[in-house]
Amino acid sequence: RAEPLVLGIETSCDETGIGIVRGRTLLSNTIASSMDEHARYGGVVPEVAARAHLEALQPSIEAALAESGVALADLDAVAVTSGPGLAGALMVGVGAAKALAVSLEKPLYAVNHLVGHIAADILDDQAPPLEYPTVALLVSGGHTSLLLVRDLTTDVELLGETMDDAAGEAFDKVARLLGLPYPGGPEIDRAAASGDNTAIPFPRGLSRASDMAGHRYDFSFSGLKTAVARWVELREAAGEQVPIADVAASFREAVVDVLVTKALAACRDYGVPRLLLGGGVIANRRLREVALERAAAEGVTVRIPPLSLCTDNGAMIAALTSELIMAGRAPSTLEFGADSTLPV
């Protein structure tokens, strides 16, 4: 079967991503982020993100076409993230994708953002092909999800997700209460480098035996955030200096511990010796380190795509669509809309 030429549009959060792939080959991956505009609010503001997508889409599409040397007329399909994500932000991408597909008379594919993250791995030309089944842990500022992937195009099962804050969101909120700038993940990572990760025993959300019965693969980070806030407040009230490095290292260890423990529990439960990591939080050095170390001890192989493919991008949406087309999937009809809670 011929390798389809696909343009993918991603606008589910604060990145306007346009990607072009041919089959499993990455031709361009243009990302415009509105992160700077959200910095003073300490988190992504949906209205601001939607407006930024509207402004960035046209120039981003042009840049992606120029970078790849592809002409719109040559595309085999247009692909777009229809959910999950921020409703207003998604709507901008969906509208643009429909307009493009209709005007070019090309097939249009609406795809799931989380499954797109898994597909990013296919574009990693340094790694051997992805094998199934695999467990996938996707951690970003917008989602924290654990999935069982038996087949990328036909069988992706959501095992668990966060009940409150996403892991990246927890990093951002804790950074804020420590007086560190947004986005907080890299800042905490930096501050933690000189800290003791055993200094403060912060709680591991949903990890007690009782939780493991009903929420074995689910996550919760809001209790951890509150515990950090309380710990810091008590020190400040007592007039003591807050040991930022130790707090950052202990907080990071709590997040990493829960993420890796639950991902490896899924590998063990389902007898799957493969773990795929994705999402912007994968940039965390400690998370990579602990995941690789503990997985190796259990005979689990860890795959981590390059960071430019781990964070939100359009290439992963195009890559997933290319797989769907090669698997014979029919395009979407134009009735679909943005769905902020779209299931996998």
Residues at the contact surface with ligand KG4, assessed by CB under 6 A: 13-14, 140-142, 168-169, 171-172, 183-186, 189, 279-281, 283-284, 311-312
Which residue type sits at 262? K
Which residue type sits at 119? A
Give the residue with the Cβ less far from Zn ion, 253 or 312.
Answer: 312
Which residue type sits at 73? A
Q: Does 312 bind Zn ion (CB under 5 A)?
A: yes
Question: Residue 81 Cβ, how far from Zn ion at the closest point, in Å?
Answer: 9
Give the residue with the Cβ less far from ligand KG4, 76 or 124.
Answer: 124
Q: Does 169 bind Zn ion (CB under 5 A)?
A: no
Q: Buried b / exposed e across 156-195, counting CB within 10 Å, b at 16+? A: beebbbbebbbbbbbbbbbbbbbebebbbbbbbbebbeeb
Give the residue with the Cβ less far from ligand KG4, 15 or 272.
Answer: 15
141 labelled as ligand-binding? yes
Question: Residue 139 Cβ, how far from ligand KG4 at the closest point, in Å?
Answer: 8
Question: Residue 222 Cβ, how far from Zn ion at the closest point, in Å?
Answer: 20
Q: How far apart are CA 219 and CA 265, in angstroms?
A: 13
Our CA angle for 64, 68, 70, nearest 5°, is: 95
CA distance between the termini of the chain = 26
340 labelled as ligand-binding? no
Give the residue with the Cβ less far from ligand KG4, 176 or 216.
Answer: 176
140 labelled as ligand-binding? yes
Instruction: Decide which of Zn ion, ligand KG4, none touches 137; Cβ closer than 5 to 8 Å per partner kind.
Output: none
Instruction: Name residue, tokens 């560190």.
Output: 180
Q: Does 162 bind Zn ion (CB under 5 A)?
A: no
Instruction: Decide which of Zn ion, ligand KG4, none touches 93; Cβ closer than 5 to 8 Å per partner kind.
Output: none
Q: How far apart are CA 294 and CA 187, in angstroms?
A: 25
Question: Residue 277 Cβ, how far from ligand KG4 at the closest point, in Å?
Answer: 12
Q: Does 121 bind Zn ion (CB under 5 A)?
A: no
Helix axes 285-297, 184-192, angle to 10 degrees: 70
142 labelled as ligand-binding? yes
- 340, 259, 135, 144 alpha-carbon torsion, rounded to 10°: 10
Q: Does 140 bind Zn ion (CB under 5 A)?
A: yes
Question: Residue 14 Cβ, how far from ligand KG4 at the closest point, in Å?
Answer: 5
Report the helix count and the strand count for the chain, using DSSP H and E: 12, 10
Q: How far apart are CA 119 and CA 109, in angstroms?
A: 15
**Cα four-point dihedral sign 302, 120, 158, 3:** negative
Binding site for substrate, by residue number, is: 138-142, 172, 185, 189, 284
- Mark the binding-site residues for Fe cation, compressed into ranges: 113, 117, 312
**Residue numbers belonging to the annotated binding site:** 113, 117, 138-142, 172, 185, 189, 284, 312
